[in-house]
A = this chain, B = another copy of it.
C-alpha cells in the first residue's frame, strides 16, 4: 500500500513536471506552433513519455486549463466558506480572487480562452469535457451563490444569480483577452489591472439594488 501510494505520488509529480513544461511552451508558441517534441525537450523527457501521462496533445493542453480552474475553485471556496459576511465584502473578495487567478498565471488565462473557443472544445474527449464542465460548473455555482445571497439580502439588483455570475466571468475574461490582443495591435503598455479595476467598479455600481435608469 505504501509502495502503491509512493508510485501514485511519483506519477503525479511527473504529470506536474510535464504540465509546467507544457505551460511554458504553449505560452511561448501557442497551441499549433508548439510541438510535442518541444514540450518533451523542455520537460527533459522523451516524446514517448508524454503519452504515458496524457492521451494526446489536446488533452495535455486542456490539462493546463483544468489546473487554473482548480486554482480558481479553491480561491472561490475560500470566499464562499465565510459565513455571515456582508455581500459587498464577499463581492470584493471575489474580485480579489480573480486578480489572484490572473497573477497566478496570466498567460494560461489566455490559453483558457483559446480552450473555450469552439474549435478546441470540439476535439476534446467526452471525459475531459465532463471534467471541465464539472469544474467550471462548480466555479460558476460558487459565484452564483454569492450573488444569490446579495439578492436575497436585498442589496444586489434582482437578477438571476447565474446570469450575474456569467456576466461577471464574461467581463473578467473579456477584459483579459481584449487587453492581450491590444498588445499585439497597438503595442501598448499594460493597462490591464487599471482597466479591470474600472470594469469591476462599474459592475459593482450597476449591481446595487435600487432604482435603475433606462
Contacts and interface: CB of A to CB of B under 8 A. Distances in A.
A118 B163 contact: no
Interface of A: 29-33, 88, 92, 110, 113-114, 116-119, 121-122, 129, 132-133, 136-137, 157, 159-160, 163-164, 166-167, 169-175, 177-186, 191, 194-195, 198-199, 201-208, 212-214
Contact of A114 (B119, B180, B203): B119
A184 B118 contact: yes
B206 A201 contact: yes
Contacts of A88: 213-214
Contacts of A207: 202, 205-206
A198 B113 contact: no
Contacts of A204: 206, 212-214
B173 A33 contact: no
Contacts of A173: 174, 177-178
Contacts of A201: 206, 212
A32 B119 contact: yes
Contacts of A122: 30, 184
24 contacts: A30-B118, A113-B113, A113-B117, A114-B117, A116-B177, A116-B180, A117-B117, A121-B184, A132-B185, A136-B185, A137-B186, A163-B194, A164-B202, A166-B182, A167-B198, A170-B174, A170-B199, A171-B171, A174-B174, A174-B175, A174-B178, A201-B206, A203-B203, A205-B205
